[in-house]
Chains A and B, each alone.
Chain A
Amino acid sequence: MSMTADAHARRQDRRPWQKRLADASEPYLYSAPALILIIVVMLVPLVVGISYAFRDIQLLNPFSGGFIGLEHFETLSKDKAFYTALKNTLWWTGASVFLQFVFGLILALLLDKPFMGRGIVQALVFLPWAVPSFLGGLNWAWLFNPVIGPLPHWLYGLGLMSQPGNILSDPQYAMWGPIIANVWWGIPFFAITLLAALQSIPRDLYEAASIDGASWFQRFWSITLPFLAPTIAITVLLRTVWVSNFADLIVVMTGGGPADRTQIVASYIFTQAFKALDFGYASAIALVLLVLLLAYSLLIILLRQTLLNKG
């Protein structure tokens, strides 16, 4: 039965073989440019980068390059500087994202109210986001520098400092320097996205709530927050990943110092790769950071899914 069917089909298909080949490969040819581009710019570097983590690659050692298995990871597990950097990353990311979010939300709520010249103020508020992070870092480093910047003198004048020193060189407070710069730089992101979400809330809900007897805070709590929740979840997730990967400000302002007090994992990778020129070890650290961030993202997505299902 199938034999006759096959024979029948073969007899039917009278196209020349080139034509048949062209027809069969058509969908692959259409998608090939996109696929090749994705593979070349995304997958290849990723795989090469990951492979570095298992090889001994030191720029200054011409005999390096060989496969060494998990040796980097063994070193890493005993590397005190890495654990400090991990702890600093948590602190840096947590404080930065939290403060950016809080101030960004306050800013968005203020900008949501109509007032004279709101358009200009909105544009100005979003300026820090447009400043290159390198420039921002330099600017803040100078502001904290008692020789040329005003901040230490103001803090001294307020009695918050015993003498106008540079907090970037104070092991106890050094982390606050890049955090403050990062908060200044990152507020606009939250303000923009939260403002967009705020403006999509129907006004008559607020009117209905005030007629129902809700005070400002009760309206905020039972209308604004539930409406913002999905936006908050997604922006906080995004920012957490970005900020924990974001070494620019730290590299520019403190270089990880003093005594690794401001070293986060991302800046530690940078230091290992471009100061110690040990690309293999840097790749191993980067791989660990990647796994940690993947796990974090997965957790947040699961959390969001359960919340959505509940709702």
Chain B
Amino acid sequence: MASIDIQNVKKAYGHVQVLHDIDLKIKDGEFVVLVGPSGCGKSTLLRMIAGLEGVTAGEMRIDGKRVNELHPKDRDIAMVFQSYALYPHMNVAANMSYSLKLRKAAKEKITAAVAGAASKLGLEALLDRRPRALSGGQRQRVAMGRAIVRQPKAFLFDEPLSNLDARLREQMRAEIKKMHGELKATSIYVTHDQIEAMTLADRIVAMHGGVVQQVGAPLELYDRPANMFVAGFIGSPGMNFLEATYAGGSVTLADRTVVTLPGALALDDGAKVTVGIRPEHVVLAAEGEGMAATVDLVEPTGFGIILHLSLHGLAFKVFTTDRAALSAGPTVHVAFPSTQIHVFDSSGVRANPLAPQA
């Protein structure tokens, strides 16, 4: 196991810079998830850690040792690919033992390691099958097995669950988490699925446009997003944003509704701000209270109901577990609890305190 230290790392393809000054310290045994939309540079960063892509500038250290120029085969890390990248002409056992064979490990040691990984992943019965005779979920397990037999310094996961169906994804997610609990291996996991990020991570690194937007524990990103990108990306359905004006500890929305905030913010009076509120924090109020909104669409999910509303002509979502919302009329009334309101300044940066409020 090892720590991974990324210092001022940049990546450019010709004149196109895809990663800007990435700074990240990953502690020994930590599970870090890189999350962001397609093209945010998360996979590139992972491949740079693996050594599959060169580092344009900055320094990459594994266990304190500079690895910028080190070939992937000498970095002692394991990677699980989105396509699994299993060797098609080798059976499951050979796939899992390939790395140990290359390291000239003793035969008994290889057999023991493969048997151990197979029993951990429930692959014992499949050891002499070829990858093409396996289902997607089984291939995924073999790819994981190939990584764990080696006991590498770190595990890298490149969207490993994207090719699985929803149920299997949920199941494998839980297994990965359980496995990390047992192995305590340093892991870096790339995904665009914020649920995977939230459930798996010790720390989430949210990326956008080649820049790290926020690093923190999952609930920290959920409760106190550092900017509008993180606020909108984490959480499903996504956060609602409304234009407002700040003045003396309260915000005024477009319809002149005034919401008093729990504390004063470091903003000038009259500053244009964006107010964010998560659909699950919006309260459906009785008639005469809150703001009136028209109902566009009602989506029951089973667990709850998503209401798509028009609020002052803007799309607005509400999530509630109250079944009564199913029969919501053409107009509903919504209210915002002041403690659940996020305020972002005109450049999209969080204006509420970043530290938890006592």
- Partner among A207, A213, A222 whose Cβ is within 8 Å of the Cβ of B87: A222
Chain A residues with CB under 8 Å of B102's CB are 212-214, 218
Q: Is A202 an interface residue (CB 8 A)?
A: yes
A205 and chain B: residue at smallest CB distance: B85
Question: How far is it, in angstroms, between the C-alpha of A226 and the C-alpha of B95 when the chains are bound?
Answer: 14
B99 touches A212 (CB 8 A): yes
Q: Is A208 an interface residue (CB 8 A)?
A: yes
**Which residues from 38 to 72 on chain B have a C-beta closer than 8 Å to any C-beta of chain A?**
50-52, 71-72
B77 touches A205 (CB 8 A): no
Question: How far is it, in angstroms, between the C-alpha of A143 and the C-alpha of B87 when the chains are bound?
Answer: 47
Task: Using A218-B102, A222-B98 as known contacts, say yes or no to A210 and B73 having CB atoms under 8 A apart.
Answer: yes
Q: Is B103 an interface residue (CB 8 A)?
A: yes
B146 touches A226 (CB 8 A): no
A211 touches B87 (CB 8 A): no
Chain A residues with CB under 8 Å of B103's CB are 213
B71 touches A311 (CB 8 A): no
Task: Using A213-B73, A213-B103, A222-B98 as known contacts, say yes or no to A208 and B79 having CB atoms under 8 A apart.
Answer: yes
Question: How far is it, in angstroms, between the C-alpha of A213 and the C-alpha of B153 when the chains are bound?
Answer: 13
Task: Using A218-B102, A222-B98 as known contacts, say yes or no to A211 and B89 having CB atoms under 8 A apart.
Answer: no
Chain B residues with CB under 8 Å of A213's CB are 73-74, 99, 102-103
Chain A residues with CB under 8 Å of B71's CB are 210
B89 touches A208 (CB 8 A): no
**Which residues from 183 to 219 on chain A have a C-beta closer than 8 Å to any C-beta of chain B?**
202, 204-205, 207-215, 218
Minimum Cβ distance to chain B for residue A211 (Å): 5
**Which residues from 219 to 238 on chain A have a C-beta closer than 8 Å to any C-beta of chain B?**
222-223, 226-227
Task: Using A213-B99, A213-B103 as known contacts, say yes or no to A207 and B81 having CB atoms under 8 A apart.
Answer: yes
Task: Using A218-B102, A226-B89, A311-B89 as known contacts, say yes or no to A210 and B72 having CB atoms under 8 A apart.
Answer: yes
Chain A residues with CB under 8 Å of B150's CB are 212
A204 touches B83 (CB 8 A): yes
A207 touches B83 (CB 8 A): no
B72 touches A211 (CB 8 A): yes
A211 touches B83 (CB 8 A): no
Chain B residues with CB under 8 Å of A212's CB are 73, 78, 98-99, 102, 146, 150
Minimum Cβ distance to chain A for residue B157 (Å): 12
B85 touches A208 (CB 8 A): yes
A210 and chain B: residue at smallest CB distance: B72
Question: How far is it, in angstroms, between the C-alpha of A209 and the C-alpha of B86 when the chains are bound?
Answer: 9
B158 and chain A: residue at smallest CB distance: A204
Minimum Cβ distance to chain A for residue B154 (Å): 11
Question: How far is it, in angstroms, between the C-alpha of A311 and the C-alpha of B132 when the chains are bound?
Answer: 12
Size of the A side of the interface (Cβ < 8 Å), in residues, is: 18
Task: Using A223-B87, A311-B89 as known contacts, say yes or no to A208 and B73 having CB atoms under 8 A apart.
Answer: no
Chain A residues with CB under 8 Å of B75's CB are 211
**Which residues from 141 to 195 on chain B have a C-beta closer than 8 Å to any C-beta of chain A?**
146, 150
A207 touches B85 (CB 8 A): yes
- Partner among A202, A215, A218, A226 whose Cβ is within 8 Å of the Cβ of B85: A202
Question: How far is it, in angstroms, between the C-alpha of A215 and the C-alpha of B72 when the chains are bound?
Answer: 10
Chain A residues with CB under 8 Å of B73's CB are 210-215
Minimum Cβ distance to chain B for residue A220 (Å): 13
Question: How far is it, in angstroms, between the C-alpha of A212 and the C-alpha of B152 when the chains are bound?
Answer: 10
Minimum Cβ distance to chain B for residue A12 (Å): 53
Contact digits for B98-125, partner A, Cβ 8 Å, 1 yes 0 no: 1100110000000000000000000000
B98 touches A211 (CB 8 A): no
Chain A residues with CB under 8 Å of B89's CB are 226-227, 311
Chain A residues with CB under 8 Å of B98's CB are 209, 212, 214, 222
Minimum Cβ distance to chain B for residue A198 (Å): 15
Minimum Cβ distance to chain A for residue B106 (Å): 16
Minimum Cβ distance to chain A for residue B5 (Å): 20
Minimum Cβ distance to chain B for residue A105 (Å): 18
Minimum Cβ distance to chain A for residue B7 (Å): 23
Chain B residues with CB under 8 Å of A202's CB are 83, 85
Question: How far is it, in angstroms, between the C-alpha of A211 and the C-alpha of B86 when the chains are bound?
Answer: 13
Chain A residues with CB under 8 Å of B78's CB are 211-212
Chain A residues with CB under 8 Å of B81's CB are 204, 207-208
Chain B residues with CB under 8 Å of A227's CB are 89
**Which residues from 283 to 304 on chain A have a C-beta closer than 8 Å to any C-beta of chain B?**
none
Chain A residues with CB under 8 Å of B87's CB are 205, 208-209, 222-223
B75 and chain A: residue at smallest CB distance: A211
Chain A residues with CB under 8 Å of B77's CB are 211
Minimum Cβ distance to chain B for residue A170 (Å): 46
Question: How far is it, in angstroms, between the C-alpha of A215 and the C-alpha of B101 when the chains are bound?
Answer: 13
A229 and chain B: residue at smallest CB distance: B89
Chain B residues with CB under 8 Å of A210's CB are 51-52, 71-73
Question: How far is it, in angstroms, between the C-alpha of A208 and the C-alpha of B75 when the chains are bound?
Answer: 13
Question: How far is it, in angstroms, between the C-alpha of A207 and the C-alpha of B43 when the chains are bound?
Answer: 14
Minimum Cβ distance to chain B for residue A153 (Å): 46
Known: A202-B83, A214-B98. 4 other contacts (CB 8 A): A211-B51, A211-B79, A212-B99, A215-B73
- Residue pairs across A and B with Cβ atoms less than 8 A apart, 11 shown, are A202-B83, A210-B72, A211-B50, A212-B78, A212-B98, A212-B99, A213-B74, A214-B98, A214-B102, A222-B87, A222-B98
Binding site for B on A (CB under 8 A): 202, 204-205, 207-215, 218, 222-223, 226-227, 311
Pairs A-B, 7 closest by C-beta atoms:
A212-B99, A208-B85, A204-B85, A226-B89, A213-B73, A210-B72, A213-B102
